[in-house]
Amino acid sequence: MRAIRSWRFTAAIVFTVATFPVAIADDALLADQRAAFRNAWSLAERGEWQLSPGEEKLLKAYTLWPYLRGRYLEATLRKRPAAEINQFLADHGTSRPARSLRYRWARQLHKSGDWLGYLGIYRAFYKSLGNTELDCRAVAAQIAANEPINGALALSLWRVGHSQHATCDPVFAWLTDTGLVSTDEIRERFDIAIEAREFGLARWLAKKLGPTEQATAARWIALRDRPAKALGDTDRAKLASFPNELRYGVGRLARDDTTKAMQRWRKLQEQHDFPPAVAAATTERIALIAAWRHEAHAAEFIAAVPPAFASLELAEWRVRDALRRGDMVAVQRAIAALPTAEREQERWRYWLAIAVQEKEPAAARLLLDELAGERSYYGFLAADRIERAYTLGHRDIVRDRELLTELRGDPSVHQALELHAVGLNGRARAQWDSAMQTLSAAGRQQAALLAAESGWVSRSIAAVAKAGHYDDLAIRYPTPWYDAFAAAARDNEISVAWTYGIARSESLFMPDVRSSAGAVGVMQLLPSTARSTARAIGFKFRGITTLTDATSNIRLGTRYLAGLAQRFEGHEALATAAYNAGPHRVDRWLEGAGGMPADVWVETIPFDETRGYVQRVLAARAVFHWRLTDAQRRVSQSLPPIPPVAPRVARLDQ
């Protein structure tokens, strides 16, 4: 039996039973409505409506009826009479089902050539949204319907430095035919595209202008693709009159070789009078790349940036470079040079304490003791340094019965909870998040309780954070699918608290969520990773269906994490970084780091996202361990010194 701190949920059960007597008839009705809805939804998505009179009566009384009917109308949009669509929109106003149907209906009207119908909806609902696709459709509809054209809107859609949605093509054709897009307008957009580094668009526009612009586009493209060659002795003379190109080419060259880039840049500065801020920005770009790659000359390059023009990012990397070199005097100086507000951040307070502890142990102790009162990655590290117990500071949200009752009766909140109950999680989150926007901090706290009692952990975590109540650790660090997590961790001989930390950071325990990179599910696995992991353990992989099944995702994700732990000799910080950024990047970041303190290695991870991810996971691991065992485990146990590694050739993957 797990030793989990479950006072929150025990109290919740007692309160519910005592305050809200079980209404068997209502519960039975709700169960019937949910079952009928699930069956009807799968049919409605396919454009089928097979409800009996009894089922229709049952579902019309259900809060999700507008979602069901709206989804059916969307699926059969081309077949439905306009009167039926308009009646639904009139009945349901600005509800989410109506907004979804209205958007699809507007696009259908445009597609079918009902220009006035589209424009009516556009002017009433979309005119001020700044949605490029809808705006282009509106101007195109005006053109097709011989209505007065909004020329200013059409030109604003043209004057951007990137390719626009295909629906803008007839608008741009009209601008050209009417002469509103003159040669000057084309040249202006060409310049904007160059500034945005959208060279494909620039090359296309150059064809409309002439040899000069075509040559300019070609120079930029050459500098992007072959910077060393484009900046060579022969070509440099041709580039002498183009300082922006020179600076861009040096920046591109720095991605391949910072030493060569700095050498070229110093010569160019001797030959050209660049404005001080411009020169500093280019020098800083080279210095940052050298720092990200942990190159030996990074400190020299950083020092070459005039302090008056140095960014906060460079100032922070000055500290990190000194940490990486083990120069604690330089660390102190670099932290002292940070802006006051930045210097007071937990990160730099911790590293200042580490920098002074050898020569000023009493001062270091004071800094660490103060920081150890924080429930955070750096607070935990500080507590480890002085062997002090963690300050976890759990504090229950105080239940407000009246407010909870009000929330349960709120139609928007009720719909969100029911959408979650029937498995429409994406729509449920959208509905819930919309409802939360109008709540006070107190209301959001009670909403967090309500979501937690419904087993909706992602929204309970989000609601309590938006309420600014960070001390209810049972809500902030829940343990859903415990049996699946525990079994997977046990089978792979890794910590269940660690796997919980990974899952919380990856998805907030949302089984259906997908990242922009294509990762899916509770532990955010790429299909390719999941497929190869499943093959290795003889597990049947069924694509997205497997990934959105929480138990399967947990099993595969935990196995993959265990494989990373094995690859990195059990080092949890390295394996965690690899889970986020990929093992090959971690291999490169380990070059020359053998024997380095792991907290220094983590602090100098080149990717901001990965650095924050590792710190977040390790802090969460400590909280989950406490919740699951009622005991504390030190974050520093996940941060042993970096093991010796074979030298590798570093490459920038920024």
Q: Alpha-carbon distance 612 to 576, whole Å?
A: 11
**Residue showing tokens 């979650």:** 420
**Residue showing tokens 């937990």:** 346
Asked whether 275 and 309 are in contact (CB, 8 A), the reply is no
Query: What is 39-61 written as a DSSP string?
Result: HHHHHHHTT-----HHHHHHHHT
Q: Alpha-carbon distance 45 to 36, whole Å?
A: 14
Tokens of 388: 């002090």
Asked whether 141 and 149 are in contact (CB, 8 A), the reply is no
Q: Alpha-carbon distance 363 to 353, whole Å?
A: 7
- Other CB atoms within 10 Å distance of the CB of residue 303: 12
Element (H, E) at 578: helix 572-581
**Main-chain phi, psi angles of 180, to 5 degrees:** -70, -30
Among the options 213, 316, 506, 603, which is catalytic?
Answer: 506
Asked whether 286 and 261 are in contact (CB, 8 A), the reply is yes
Q: Which of 317, 348, 346 is nearest to 335 (CA)?
A: 348
Could you confirm whether 506 is annotated as catalytic?
A: yes
Longest CA–CA separation in the chain, Å: 87
63 Cβ contact partners less than 8 Å away, ≥ 6 residues apart: 411, 414, 415, 418
Query: What is 596-636 written as a DSSP string?
Result: --HHHHHHT-S-HHHHHHHHHHHHHHHHHHHHHHSS---GG
Q: Alpha-carbon distance 219 to 231, whole Å?
A: 10
CA 633 to chain centre: 29
Buried-state track 50-76, b at ≥16 Cβ within 10 A, e below 16: ebeeebeebbeebbbbbbbbbbbbbbe
Q: Alpha-carbon distance 89 to 411, whole Å?
A: 18
91 Cβ contact partners less than 8 Å away, ≥ 6 residues apart: none
Radius of gyration over alpha carbons of the chain, in Å? Answer: 30
Angle between helices 151-158 and 132-144 (to 10 degrees): 130
Alpha helices, H only, 454-540 = 457-466, 473-476, 482-492, 496-507, 527-537
Q: Residue 340: exposed, middle, or buried by beta-carbon count in 10 A (0-12, 13-18, 19+)? A: exposed
Q: Alpha-carbon distance 24 to 245, whole Å?
A: 75
Alpha helices, H only, 361-481 = 361-371, 377-385, 401-408, 411-421, 425-436, 441-453, 457-466, 473-476
Catalytic residue IDs: 506
